[in-house]
Amino acid sequence: MVETPEQLHQVSGTQTSPSYFQHPMTSSTKAGEEPPNIVSPLTNAHSRSPPQDGTKAALPSHLCCPICLEVMVEPVTTVCGHTYDKSCLEDFFASCSAPPSCPICRTSIQLPIPKVSVLLRDMIGEKLPKESRVRTAQLGIQRKQRRMHRIMHDLEVSTINREEVSQLLAEILATISEADTPDVQACAVHALSQMLSTSERLISDVIHAGTLRILLKLVTTGGLEVQEACMHALSSIACGTNEHRDAMLEAGVAEALIKTFTARQQPGVGASAGSDNYGEGFSRINLCTRVVSTLSNLAQGSNACRVRIVRAGAVKPLVALLGHASMSVLEGAASALGNIACGDDVCREEIINQGALQPLVALLHSGTNEARGAAASAIGNMSCGSDARRRKVVESGAVKSLVELLASGSEISCDARARVAGAMLNMAAGSDEFRAELIGAGALRVLVHLLIQPATSSHAQAANVLLNIACGNNKYRQAVIDAGAVPVLVSQLITGSSDAKNTSAGALWCLAAGTDLHRDKVVQAGALPPLIALLSSDSIEAQISAAGALWNIAAGSDEVRKQILRAGGLPALIRVVQTSGSTSAKARAADAIRNIACGDLACRYAVVEAGALPALVGVLRSHVRSPERYHEAVLGVTMVDALCCIMAGNSFLTNLVQEAGAVEPVLQLLGARTSDECGLACSDAVCCFASGQSTEREVLVRAGAVPILTKLLEEDPLSEIRHRSADALSSIAIDPRGCTSQLLQANALKPMLAMLTSQETVLDCKLRLAETLANLAKASLRFKNMMVQLSVPSRLLEAAKNETNLRLKAAFRTVVAALPYSEEGKSGPAAAVPVNVRFCNYLDSLQLEDRQLDPPPSPNGKQITRDTRS
């Protein structure tokens, strides 16, 4: 879950803090876990001990397998007349490199192996006593286990004989369904579980074979041993994919598990019959552990899986099990609740409403390492997303308990420390209120101490917590610095694991988002060389974090920028822009280059000399081909921002940017205008281009800038973009001779006049537009006639009466003075006076300080006497 990143802006450059993340932590029972008292698969049939129940003595020797010396379960007779157990003969053939032959007489045998002799098998079954029949059935199941192990061990999964697998599954399921004793059923189900532990790819075959229906029936009707075995099998199936978990939920597994809770509830010490004290009611710890393990694995699925588990009523008994006497049950219940809390707000609210917080906090103090870690994960996951839930977590005393647990050092395992730090991470992802709670509880000192400890897996999580705290305001950044975190984070950049380097760079990114003092602390701690080295990492996340940290550091003083230059930061940043496979990494590196270019002229020239222009323009060209794609458009805008900072009013640098080929992609991106940021950045760049020499303006005109700017001037909803477009057009029209035809074709005069007479247009923009219209009127008779047709004198006269700025009124007069004599009707004494004259008389009545303004020319070339009428 991702929180919105804080955006900070300074005059010298733009900077931002990275997003801080909330990581729902998942725990589960591994698919490879073996049940107790189950024989592991054997790769050699000759390694088994002889039976201990007298079976061999009870039968003639010809009914025992010559290979394993045990009773034959599936007798097969070869062409030479010798009889073996089918599984033993298959194992024998698999262990020999020579062609198949009889183990006794070496007669060649053609595969496949002959079918089982039903008559002989039934005769053996009739001669065995009941106890021996159970033993024989168990031996048969173990042989099926070895058979499956051979299939999976000797063959690639892609070349498995699917028919053989299906046949074996059918045999095991038939044994489960038809077994006449619980021991045989339990043994067969355990064999199925071991098959699933061998390869998760068998789970689909198991589900398609109808196994779930059989297992659920045994869960509700079988004895304790059978139920425990079924739970282990279901737990292994739940370790598969989300599709497998969905199939389990569709089959009603969640509801069956809850019924098992209820059915096995027995009154215990302090619990009466019919009470809800499931923790004391469960009489079989192994079964209880398997149930919560299966629920925990199911909750690793999609959010829909978790919601269905909640609706099945699983939360209440799981919370009750947090008071169980068995630590394995406590750990399983906490893990299941933690996985359910990875879901949406409905799941988290249900867990809190059922009273889980207090027992989970108590478990932090008294549980095993695994139980404490599971409790911390559950608390952390419930802290995701909502400050209201975080407040409940704080009120439960969890923050203080988490800090105390983390401070206990070697008393808890590395995994438990990482989970505790993860819970703090999600708390620090909230508002400043929760960062203050963590700081007040002493979390900073503990986290810094944890980062100093040698080689632990919790370093990355500890740095992540510092990152989230530093994403607050400057007060919290200063608290992190005062706790001595900066040198420790820099040390992690050098010696830490890949994850620790990434998160430490992210923490420095956030710390550098503060004041110049904070940035100086980061630089003084020696962060620049390892951050620059991290730009060459194969990890995309590391590249993003390192470039982001340099971005914010470069928003400092010119001295800090020059330290980045001396440390070799520019070539590394340019390399990321050119070669990184991540759009975000390219953008952050370009942001860092832009902030360096926001420095003095020496910094800007250093950026150009390092080869930044071809890199920036190259990325810009490649990412404006599909401007409708959001991420590509954003990256293009970042490149344009960097180019604007490099130009920044310097005609020589502007010319270099134009020569690098930036004009066409900038105009293409401006025409697409995918966002306000896109329009602002690109219109800024066009203004920079237009403010250069006449040759640079001609390049703009030839590239098609005039119609694009005219359209923005007329239609864009953002006034700031309209102002910048007007400024650019004004700069282009300084010398109208090169752009007259383009302005006429684009019909630019009409939107320019509307902008000039609008009350929303700022003063500087109006002054430039007035100057542009005057230049156009002086340069082209067509423009003069068009202005007369658009009633420019009368419209400017009305606009002048509404203006208070005398300088602007004078600029209006300059436009009118450039126009020819005209009359606007004969219907009255005032109308008979030319508008040009009326405008000049109006200005005279204001007693302007500048009395040297020339009056407009008369139609016959003579001076027009100013009328004293207003």
pLDDT (mean) for 6-19: 34
Same domain, 847 and 747: no
Q: Minimal CA–CA distance to 68: which of 173, 169, 7, 146?
A: 146
For residue 540, tell me if it sits in a domain: no
pLDDT in tens, 493-533: 999 999 999 999 999 999 999 999 999 999 999 999 999 99
pLDDT band at 444 (very low <50, low <70, confident <90, very high): very high
Span between the terminal Cα atoms of the chain, in Å: 69
Mean pLDDT of 485-497: 94
- Give strand pairing partners of 84: 76
- In this structure, the answer to whether residues 727 and 590 fall within a common structural domain is yes
Q: What is the CATH number of the domain that holds 74?
A: 3.30.40.10
Is residue 856 over pLDDT 50? no
Which residues neighbour 69 within 8 Å (Cβ) at sequence distance 6 or greater?
A: 50, 56
Torsion of CA 29, 32, 36, 38, to 10 degrees: 150
- The answer to the question of residue 693 being in a domain is yes
Same domain, 853 and 737: no
Residue 813 backbone dihedrals phi, psi, to 5 degrees: -60, -35
Domain boundary residue, one of 739, 758, 785 = 785
160-211 pLDDT, tens per residue?
556 666 777 777 777 777 666 677 777 777 777 777 766 667 788 888 888 8
Are the CB atoms for 61 and 377 separated by under 8 Å? no
Q: Which residue has the higher pLDDT, 533 or 818?
A: 533
Do 797 and 774 fall into the same domain? no
Nearest-angstrom CA–CA distance, 294 and 207: 16
- In this structure, is residue 557 part of a structural domain? yes
Contact criterion met (CB below 8 Å) for 422 and 460: no
536 DSSP 8-state letter: T
Q: Are residues 771 and 817 in the same domain?
A: no
Q: Do both 718 and 609 map to the same domain?
A: yes
* Centroid of chain to Cα 351: 26
Higher pLDDT, 3 or 604: 604
| Predicted confidence (pLDDT) per residue in 599-634, tens digit | 999 999 999 999 999 999 999 888 776 555 555 667
The token duo for 61 is 């020797």
User: Under a CB-based contact definition with an 8 Å cutoff, are residues 34 and 198 in contact?
Assistant: no
What's the rounded mean pLDDT across residues 311-338? 90
Is a pLDDT exceeding 50 seen at residue 853? no
Element (H, E) at 10: strand 7-10
With cut-offs at 50, 70 and 90, classify the pLDDT of residue 861: very low
3-state secondary structure 350-378: HHHHCCCHHHHHHHHHHCCHHHHHHHHHH
Q: What would the mean pLDDT of 718-746 be, rounded to a whole number?
A: 84
- CA 748/CA 760 separation, integer angstroms: 19
Give the other-Cβ count within 10 Å of 145's Cβ: 26
860: left (phi over 0), alpha (psi -120 to 50) or beta: alpha
Rounded to an integer, what distance in angstroms lies between the CA atom of residue 448 and that of residue 439?
A: 12
Q: Which of 92-101, 468-477, 644-653, 773-782 has the lowest mean pLDDT?
A: 92-101
Query: What is the average per-residue pLDDT within 828-845?
Result: 54
- pLDDT > 60? residue 804: yes
Structure tokens at 363: 């478990």
pLDDT in tens, 338-379: 999 998 999 999 999 999 999 999 999 887 888 899 999 999
pLDDT in tens, 262-272: 665 544 333 33
Residue type at 540 in one-letter notation:
I
- For residue 397, the model assigns a pLDDT of 93
Q: Examine the pLDDT at 15 and tell me if it is beyond 50.
A: no
Dihedral sign (CA 762, 765, 771, 775): negative
Contacts of 167 (CB under 8 A, 6+ apart): none
**What's the whole-number mean pLDDT along residues 426-454?**
92
Confidence (pLDDT) at 869:
28
pLDDT at 732 over 50: yes
Higher-confidence residue of 614 and 6: namely: 614
The predicted pLDDT at position 215 comes to 87
In the chain, the number of structural domains is 3
- Residue 686 belongs to what domain range? 551-785
Residue 275 pLDDT greater than 50, yes or no: no
Residue of higher predicted confidence among 843 and 498: 498
Report the C-alpha gap between 697 and 742 in whole angstroms. 13
The yes-or-no verdict on residue 399 having pLDDT over 50 is yes
Q: What is the pLDDT of residue 59?
A: 56
* pLDDT for 24: 36
At residue 838, the pLDDT reads 61
Average pLDDT over residues 586-592: 94
| pLDDT classification of 141: cutoffs 50, 70, 90 | low
Confidence of residue 99 (pLDDT cuts 50, 70, 90): confident
In this predicted structure, the answer to whether residue 446 has a pLDDT above a threshold of 70 is yes
Among 759, 785, 811, identify where a domain stops. 785
Choose from 142-151, 259-268, 579-588 the range with maximum mean pLDDT. 579-588
d(CA 376, CA 244): 28
**Residue 163 sits in the same domain as residue 61:** yes
Closest CA to 532 of 579, 565, 572: 572
Token match 């110049």: residue? 516
pLDDT of residue 389: 92
* 473-477, 785-789, 828-832: range with highest mean pLDDT: 473-477
Q: How far apart are CA 80 and CA 66, in angstroms?
A: 14
pLDDT score of 411 more than 90? no
> Which CATH number do you get for residue 572?
1.25.10.10
Residues 772 and 850 in one domain: no
Rank 293-297, 342-346, 419-423, 568-572 by mean pLDDT and report only the highest.
Answer: 568-572
Instruction: Give the best-scoring range by mean pLDDT among 9-13, 681-685, 736-740.
Output: 681-685
**Within this chain, do residues 809 and 727 fall inside the same structural domain, yes or no?**
no
Cβ neighbours, 10 Å, residue 58: 13
Residue 401 resides in a domain: no
Mean pLDDT score of the chain: 78
Residue 48, in any domain of the structure: yes
Handedness of CA 298, 299, 302, 303 (dihedral sign): positive
Angle between helices 369-382 and 357-366 (to 10 degrees): 150
Percent of the chain surpassing pLDDT 70: 77
Contacts for 690 with CB less than 8 Å, ≥ 6 apart: 696, 697, 700, 705, 727, 728, 731, 732
315 assigned to some structural domain: no
Note whether 760 and 808 are same-domain residues.
Answer: no
Provide the pLDDT confidence category of residue 489 given band limits of 50, 70 and 90: very high
- Same domain for 774 and 715, yes or no, is yes
Whether residues 836 and 691 share a domain: the answer is no
Element (H, E) at 753: helix 749-757
Closest listed residue to residue 519, CA positions, set 475, 572, 555: 555
Least confident range from 147-156, 592-601, 669-678: namely 147-156
Which range (2-16, 296-310, 412-426) has the least confidence?
2-16
Q: Of the candidates 750, 767, 785, which is a domain's last residue?
A: 785
Residue that the structure tokens 């979390």 belong to: 443
Query: Residue 844: pLDDT band by 50, 70, 90 thresholds?
Result: low
Tell whether 618 is covered by a domain.
yes
- Is 51 domain-assigned? yes
